[in-house]
């Protein structure tokens, strides 16, 4: 690297000949050798820090050396923003590439270290369609256009539409996942941006009573009911049910094996066995007769394994049945609430649902107390009056008497 003045100009030029960096002659814009020397040292610092992205932009004439020097010395964050703005790619093709990557076997979630499910990719695609509608230039916008101001505008637009906080958060998750991919997989300069989540309600409370479930069954096409009944009678997630293979369903043993051999499970605790009650066993036997299934074949093959098709059929059915605010996932809630009301202990509900912690299953217990008020009150009264202790002493005495006679 060297500094010199061009004959036709009084300003200094820095010439660089480094391995791995394009040869370049950069004008310093100054006739001060001291200032030009400072710019030379800035270039050396950028090289030592591995900022070849900045050096390549300088070589291509996309950045001015004086601007880079000022930002680097005073505010490195400003330099990062400047680089991102200049080098920022068009969002449309980049998002398409990311969505295609999500469907490849090599794509792993940084959170679960598992491949992305088709349902996740579908939701991310929907979220980006909404993001593009708010971006001023749509698909022609650049990565640098995803700013704090844009995010405030996007949140406000979604709120005006009456969108719930949980839905907005799903859009933010899609944006976060995309930005992470840009940085980790494409090595792009991603502008710093905080994405605080919207406040969400405690959770959906919707579940179906026995009467509502019968109404839903009557409104559902016969061939689709075995899938929906599997969700309601076992508590499986829709992705788990649609991923079942013929060998996973053991009707003779009245159980279903849920493992990660043929599907992407949410967590490690999702691996479990679930029982098949008699009403569901009859439905599944009829389904297998109508749609013969081998051990390695999908139990619910096309069109039943298409999440969007299942959601459309379910939506039409619950509307025909006169049910309001019901989703496919509410069938899982239905199983959990009825299990709690039937007196199934919390740890067993956790195991049946494949929850990672007991706390996730406890929320269903608030629907159960009414059925046990009289019984619980009697137990408390027995303890308060000492009757419970006397009953325990009597049982112990009876056991001892039997052992003595033996």
Tokens of 119: 């349902």
| Alpha helices for 243-372 (secondary structure H) | 278-290, 307-320, 330-341, 346-353, 359-362
pLDDT for the residue 187:
72
What ranges make up the beta strands (E) of 206-275? Answer: 249-250, 255-258, 272-275
Tokens of 30: 């100054």
Of 249, 252, 233, 242, which is closest to residue 288 (Cα–Cα)?
249
Q: For the chain of 406 residues, list the mean pLDDT of each consecutive stretch of 10.
A: 77 86 85 90 89 83 87 86 75 93 80 74 92 92 88 92 87 92 80 82 75 95 96 93 93 89 60 92 95 93 92 95 91 90 86 85 71 63 70 78 73
H/E stretch holding 231 reads: helix 225-234
Which residue do the tokens 């708010």 mark? 134
Of 181, 197, 29, which is closest to residue 111 (Cα–Cα)?
181
Alpha-carbon distances of 153 from 69, 129, 133, 156, 195, rounded to whole Å: 33, 16, 12, 5, 13
pLDDT for the residue 406:
62
Q: pLDDT tens across 114-156, in order?
A: 777 777 888 899 999 999 999 988 999 988 889 889 999 999 9
Residue 192 near residue 80, CB atoms below 8 Å: yes
List CB contacts of 293: < 8 A, sequence separation 6 or more. Answer: 245, 246, 299, 301
Alpha-carbon distances of 324 from 14, 50, 109, 232, rounded to whole Å: 71, 58, 34, 17
pLDDT for the residue 265:
61
Q: CB-based burial of residue 370 (10 Å sphere; 0-12 exposed, 13-18 middle, 19+ buried)?
A: exposed
Q: CB-based burial of residue 290 (10 Å sphere; 0-12 exposed, 13-18 middle, 19+ buried)?
A: exposed
The CATH architecture to which 210-367 belongs is: Orthogonal Bundle (1.10)
Distance in angstroms (rounded) separating the CA atoms of residues 328 and 331: 6
* pTM over cut 0.75: no
């Amino acid at each position: 690297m060297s500094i010199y003045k061009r004959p036709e100009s009084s300003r200094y030029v820095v010439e660089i000949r480094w391995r791995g960096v394009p040869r370049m002659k950069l004008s310093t814009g100054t006739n001060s050798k001291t200032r030009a020397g400072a710019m030379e040292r800035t270039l050396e610092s950028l090289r030592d820090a591995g900022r070849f992205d900045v050096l390549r932009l300088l070589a291509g004439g996309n950045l001015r050396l004086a601007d880079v020097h000022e930002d680097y010395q005073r505010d490195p964050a400003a330099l990062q923003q400047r680089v991102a703005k200049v080098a920022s790619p068009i969002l449309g093709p980049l998002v398409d590439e990311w969505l295609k990557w999500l469907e490849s076997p090599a794509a792993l979630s940084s959170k679960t270290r598992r491949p992305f499910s088709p349902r996740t990719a579908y939701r991310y695609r929907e979220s980006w369609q909404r993001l593009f509608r708010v971006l001023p230039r749509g698909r022609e916008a650049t990565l640098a256009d995803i700013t704090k101001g844009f995010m405030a505008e996007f949140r406000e637009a979604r709120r005006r539409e009456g969108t719930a906080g949980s839905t907005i958060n799903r859009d933010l998750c899609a944006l976060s996942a995309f930005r992470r991919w840009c940085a980790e997989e494409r090595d792009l300069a991603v502008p710093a941006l905080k994405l605080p989540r919207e406040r969400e309600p405690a959770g959906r409370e919707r579940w179906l009573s026995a009467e509502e479930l019968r109404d839903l069954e009557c409104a559902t096409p016969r061939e689709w009911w075995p899938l929906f009944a599997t969700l309601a009678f076992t508590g499986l997630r829709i992705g788990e049910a649609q991923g079942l293979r013929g060998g996973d369903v053991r009707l003779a043993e009245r159980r279903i094996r849920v493992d990660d051999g043929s599907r992407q499970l949410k967590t490690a605790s999702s691996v479990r066995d679930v029982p098949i009650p008699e009403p569901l066993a009859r439905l599944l036997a009829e389904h297998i007769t109508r749609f013969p299934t081998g051990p390695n074949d999908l139990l619910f093959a096309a069109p039943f394994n298409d999440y969007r098709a299942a959601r459309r059929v379910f939506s039409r059915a619950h509307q025909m049945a006169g049910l309001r605010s019901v989703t496919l996932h509410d069938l899982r809630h239905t199983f959990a609430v009825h299990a709690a009301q039937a007196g199934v202990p919390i740890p067993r509900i956790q195991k049946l649902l494949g929850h990672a912690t007991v706390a996730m299953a406890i929320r269903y217990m608030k629907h159960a107390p009414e059925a046990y008020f009289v019984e619980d009150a009697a137990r408390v009264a027995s303890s308060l009056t000492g009757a419970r202790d006397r009953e325990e002493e009597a049982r112990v005495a009876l056991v001892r008497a039997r052992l003595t006679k033996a």
